[in-house]
Each structure stands twice: as structure tokens, then as C-alpha cells.
Amino acid sequence: MTSKKPNFLVIVADDLGFSDTGPFGSEIKTPALDSIAKDGVRLTNFHTASACSPTRSMLFSGTDNHIAGLGQMAEHMGNRELFKGKPGYEGYLNFRVAALSEILQDSGYLTLMSGKWHLGAAKEHAPCSRGFDKGFVYLPGSGNHYNYEPQFKEGEPRPSLAVADPNTFWMRDGTYLNRWTELPKDFYSTRTFTDELLNYFETRTPEEKDKPFFSYLAFTAPHWPLHAPKEIIDLYKGVYDNGPAELRRKRLARLVELGLVPKDVEPAPMVGLLDPEWESMSPEERAASARKMETFAAMVHLVDENIQRVLDYLKSTDELDNTFIVFMSDNGAEGTLLEALPMLNGATSMGALIEKHYNNTLENIGNKDSFTWYGASWACASMAPSRGFKTWITEGGIRCPCLVRYPPLTKNAGAHTNSFTTVMDLVPTILELAGAEHPHPKPFRGREVVPVRGKSWVSHLGGQAGEVHDSETSITGWELFGLRAIRQGKWKAIYMTPPRGRDTWELYDMDADPGEIHDLAEKEPEALARLVQHWNVYYSETGMFDPDVTFHVVKDKRVT
């Protein structure tokens, strides 16, 4: 290990599927990520929450989202009174946790951020108040990749997913930006976020260059709406003309070839509000669906292209090999149909808003004034062999791609590990490498903070430990939108409401059945009873709250 403190670069892609990059079997061109995998390690059993802000709260806190403030996504707290006064349901990264950026800032690190925050829109909850020295920040959860959003003009009804004032979406170094006048005229999210991070690197003062850095590059791509330049979309023209089922077959074959899933794996069937069978769709319907997937591929292509720009810079300054790089997705691929998302006060539908302001004709898909998403079938194709996608508590919602590159630690370059890991592990991993301690149980910045629940990867990646989490004793739980899961070793129990589940606990052997297809609840009652008891402990430990409401995102039906 080098004697100099390592730098850190954490890169998060938004709604990226398990097999959407080259290291995980994709046909999408991702040479930068290929190089990270070649020089580093692929984590094939890496877990997040089933949606974005809860995952990000776990990333920065090292603990469960129900403790860190995102027990529920702020956008889905329809009746705020239900959650009022409930610790862990503040809707922002709360102050019971010591944020990773805060700890590293206090440990002498230069802390930089560019991209999506989604952990609080008020200034007191923004990155400038949670340990970042500098940051070009998009505060909400999603938005137009060209900054074209006529629905936010004065007098227009706002969609329910817009919980913040549109005039306070953007911030630089603690100051709100006017989105209409202070963003680049040629704004494109992926490129602009990268430009801003590179500018922070390039303009470091001599004093700042003497400090190690912690940098966070959080893309909003490839989250809907699907946008990319036409010339990049056209690189993938025709690639998806045979539909999602064929893509799923090819991706699975490649995952098997790479040794990332077993040869005899039984993939989960596609689920959710699926498109009709490809052969039964009209030529026009197939063309539009394929074009959406081509646009998605172009967005991933551009994420990779811009990651290469960062790698090239770090190489030019001789900082690359002393930088611990993590690349991950924040949850499974997005398979929700957005016209099912209600507007504020239920006045109209997302579909009506799109009809009014956007042009989703075939030739316009991907342009700034289009607003499209690709749906459940393509999402399931990218999450195979897992069941489901984002918002599902099955593996399709929470098992995500992850890459690590740090030559002083990862001696077995190009390898992969199937050891169970979670996003909560990043805090203890990074702190161990930085030689910094988590402050619990001591007061931190004048407040009491909770301990981490994650485990460091250092011994495992360094070859000294066979697994990260002890399969006999380690318990990990998940809950979001009323869907529940608890895992110990190979056993995983899930509880899902209809139409996704049966309103009863199901039990799966994840070693033998990664697709969560064969429910063993009746055959293994003792294992199920043990896990349900672990769930009860997890529920209590995390201070979870059941509002006893049905969340529209798990209904999997069209609402107009």
C-alpha cells in the first residue's frame, strides 16, 4: 500500500441495469468501464435500496435508509402528516448520521461533488452543509438532460415528483443558480457534470493539491426522460430491432460466458406492466420501442465517454493509481410507466403533461423536447437473471453492478467477487483506506451520531478474507413502498403486496435460485420463521414506521 493517503472517486449512474455495461455483458460500448474492470474487481453481488434517494442516504451514512432520513422517498410522502415527527422519515439526509463527506472533510480531505444530490433541497441539507468544500449540484431526483422543462413555467401544474421549487433545483458552492440564465447554453447533464468536476480538479490551488481528495460524480443518466444527441443514438440503430426478449437472451448468454452467473441459472420471468409480445406489435410500435432503447444505450455510452475524460485527467496528473474508484448504479433499471404517476392533488396525469409540452414522435425521441422511458420489458432484460426492477424488493430492484479500481489493494486485477456486499459498506471501506475513524460513539460536530451497519471491503479485496459479511451471522433488511425483505446467508424472505406478491412471506434460496422463482416457505418453515424473527428485530432497530398506505408505484397498473 502507498504511504500517501488515497484519493477517492465515487461514480454513481442513475437507474443503470445489471447488464448495461461491458463488464457485465452489455453490447453497449463502455471502454472506460471495461478498463476499470480490467484493472480492478467486479462486485457481482452488490446491493442497494430499491430506489435512488434511499440508496444515496445509505452510501453517505453507512447505515440503513430508515435511520438516515430516507425511510420513504420525499416524493412519495403524499400525506406529510403521516410522517411528521417520525425519526428517519425526514425526507433528507438527517443529522443523526455523520456523512462520509463530513468525516473526510474533518480528516483533511478536499471534498468535491458534481451531479445529483437527492438528499434534501434546502440549503441546510445541501452538500455545502454536509461536508463538501465545493459542489455543482442538482438537488432533486430527476430532470430533463437538456434543462428543457416548460412545465415548470409560472402557472403550470407541477408533477408530484417535483418536491422542490423549480428555482432552487441547482446550486454551486452553496449558492442557488438560476436554471434559466446560469447554466451553460449547451447544457447536457452527463457532459456538464463532468466538465464541472474536471474544472474543480484543474483549478485546485497549491494548498488544495497537497490534500488528498474525495470526489463524488453522480450522473442523472440513464434515468428517464431518455435524451441523447442523435449522432450517438444512431450508433445503436438496429441493435434492438429484435426486442427485449432477444436482448435478455443475449445478455444472459454473455453473463454466463463471463462467468458472472452460473451456466444452469434459471432466469426470472419478465414482470410488471409489460409491452405486448414483440411479434404482436405493429411495425410502428416496434420502431418506437427500439428507438427508446437505442437512446438509453446512447446515454450509457456517453456516461462511459465522460468517465474516460476523468480517468485521462487523473492519469495526466499521476493521481490515477492512488485513487480508489468505485462505479455503481443506485438501484435496478427503471421499469415503471410514467403515465401512471399522478400529479399534485390528482388534478391530471403525467401523460397529460407530456401531451401538452412534449413531442414523442419517432423521429423526435431523444431530443430535448421529447419525454420518453423504455418500460418494464427492457428493464427486465437488463436485470436478468433477477426478478423485477427498480422499486421491487426482489433482486431486480436491489442487485446492481459495481466496479472497484485501486491497484495498491486489488492485486487480482480483472477478477470478480460474488461475496454479498451492500452500499452501506462504502463508508467503512473508504474510512479504513483513508485512515479515518467513524466518530460514533463520540459526539460529532456537536451532535450524537449513529454507528455504521456496513462492513469494510478492504480485507476481502486485499485477499485476506473470503467474504465481507459473515454468512452465518450477518442480517440485512430492506423496505420501501411497503415491500419488505430480510436476508441471512443464502436465505432471503420477501413480503410483497398484490399484484407483485401475495400478502404473505415468501422464502428463497439465493444460492440455488437467484431469480427468486421457487418459494420454499412451506418446505422450509423453520428457516422462514427465523428470518421473520430477524425482520422483527430489523424493524425495531431501524425505527421503521408503517403508514398503512398503498403506494401507487407498486400497483403496476396504468392510471390516467
Indicate which residues carry an active-site annotation: 52, 118
Helices (H), 108-215: 189-202, 206-209
Contacts of 489 (CB under 8 A, 6+ apart): 471, 472, 474
Contacts of 426 (CB under 8 A, 6+ apart): 10, 59, 62, 100, 326, 454
What does the alpha-carbon distance between residue 66 and residue 323 come to, in Å, rounded to a whole number?
Answer: 31
What does the alpha-carbon distance between residue 268 and residue 441 come to, in Å, rounded to a whole number?
Answer: 43
Of 335, 244, 248, nearest in space to 51 by CA: 335
Based on C-alpha coordinates, what's the Rg of the chain?
A: 22
Of 243, 337, 252, nearest in space to 294 by CA: 243
DSSP 83-94: HTT-TT-SSS--
In Å, how far are 9, 115, 130, 134 from 204, measured between CA atoms?
Answer: 16, 19, 21, 11
Straight-line distance from the first to the last Cα atom of the chain, in angstroms, rounded to the nearest whole number: 58
Of 371, 334, 337, nearest in space to 223 by CA: 334
What H or E segment, with its residue span, contains residue 444? none
Which residues on neighbouring strands pair with residue 47, listed in sequence order? 399, 422
Contacts of 301 (CB under 8 A, 6+ apart): 28, 29, 30, 228, 232, 235, 236
CB 242 within 8 A of CB 9: no
Does the bond joining 385 to the residue before it have cis omega, within 30 degrees of 0?
Answer: yes
Cα dihedral across residues 69, 73, 74, 80: positive or negative: negative
Of 119, 56, 374, nearest in space to 244 by CA: 374
Contacts of 83 (CB under 8 A, 6+ apart): 71, 72, 77, 89, 91, 545, 547
The cell 415527527 sits on which residue? Answer: 85
Specify the 3-state DSSP secondary structure of 76.
helix
What does the alpha-carbon distance between residue 349 and residue 361 come to, in Å, rounded to a whole number?
Answer: 19
What does the alpha-carbon distance between residue 357 and residue 360 come to, in Å, rounded to a whole number?
Answer: 10
In Å, how far are 285, 469, 473 from 476, measured between CA atoms?
Answer: 42, 10, 10
What does the alpha-carbon distance between residue 341 and residue 358 come to, in Å, rounded to a whole number?
Answer: 17
What does the alpha-carbon distance between residue 391 and residue 558 come to, in Å, rounded to a whole number?
Answer: 16
